[in-house]
């Protein structure tokens, strides 16, 4: 396993095409999904057709394929769960599914993608409709000060996330390498290189 690391947010992206889905408004049938390696933030754009383009991943690396496939599966499953038996309306549900993905804790980084990008927690729409303590006691000046402080510490949070992700990848590699049966001719060949 060769880890694919990104030194900072939005440096490396994995891109894939998902679909075809049932035709939505504007006759859109496909999604172009992009995932940032560092923050795991997902962006998706519905498009009408993919003329002359086969399914692809922008980075020719197995981890890019894995990252895309897992995210694509999450998006498709989310669409199916929200639509139940209906086959139309997936385009209206896409922002909700992306919001869930952006505000869900990721084990690999130990952070939420939204907070790695913006430096603070997201206020979910439910908190606006049914006010929580932090929404009910909102003070704009105090909030602006807190956001400024969060931006001062965002680089430290990103560094800690990068360290957690590297550690996580090392643990995964160690687990898989433990199960590998090395043959003496392979070891000799590796030593010659």
3 inside domain: no
Q: Which two tokens stand for residue 85?
A: 């038996």
pLDDT at 171 > cutoff 60: yes
Q: What is the pLDDT of residues 114-126, one digit of tens each?
A: 888 888 788 777 7
The whole-number pLDDT of residue 88 equals 72
163 inside domain: yes
Domain count of the chain? 1
Domain that holds residue 90: 13-192
* Chain position carrying tokens 């998902």: 18
The whole-number pLDDT of residue 115 equals 85
Distance between CA atoms of 69 and 130, rounded to whole angstroms? 35
147 inside domain: yes
Q: Read off the pLDDT of each residue in 156-180 and give the average, rounded to a whole number.
A: 84
8 inside domain: no
Beta bridge partners of 15: 34
Give the ranges where the chain is alpha helix by DSSP (H).
62-83, 90-102, 113-118, 125-129, 133-136, 140-178, 184-192
5 inside domain: no
107 inside domain: yes
User: pTM of the entire structure?
Assistant: 0.65
1 inside domain: no
The whole-number pLDDT of residue 101 equals 84
Kindly indicate the confidence band of residue 191, based on its pLDDT and cuts at 50, 70 and 90: low
């Amino acid at each position: 396993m060769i880890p694919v690391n990104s030194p900072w947010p939005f440096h490396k992206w994995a891109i894939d095409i998902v679909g075809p889905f049932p035709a939505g408004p504007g006759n859109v049938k496909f999604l172009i999904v992009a995932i940032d390696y560092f923050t795991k933030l997902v962006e998706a754009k519905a498009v009408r057709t993919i003329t002359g383009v086969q399914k692809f991943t922008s980075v020719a690396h197995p981890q890019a394929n894995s990252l895309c496939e897992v995210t694509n599966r999450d998006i498709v499953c989310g669409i199916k769960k929200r639509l139940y038996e209906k086959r139309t309306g997936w385009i209206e549900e896409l922002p909700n599914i992306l919001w869930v993905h952006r505000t869900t804790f990721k084990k690999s980084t130990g952070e939420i993608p939204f907070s790695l990008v913006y430096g603070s927690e997201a206020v979910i729409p439910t908190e606006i409709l049914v006010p929580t303590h932090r929404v009910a006691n909102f003070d704009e000046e105090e909030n602006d000060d807190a956001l400024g402080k969060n931006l001062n510490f965002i680089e430290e949070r990103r560094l800690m996330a990068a360290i957690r992700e590297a550690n996580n990848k090392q643990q995964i590699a160690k687990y898989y390498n433990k199960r590998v049966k090395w043959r003496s001719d392979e070891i000799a060949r590796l030593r010659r290189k």
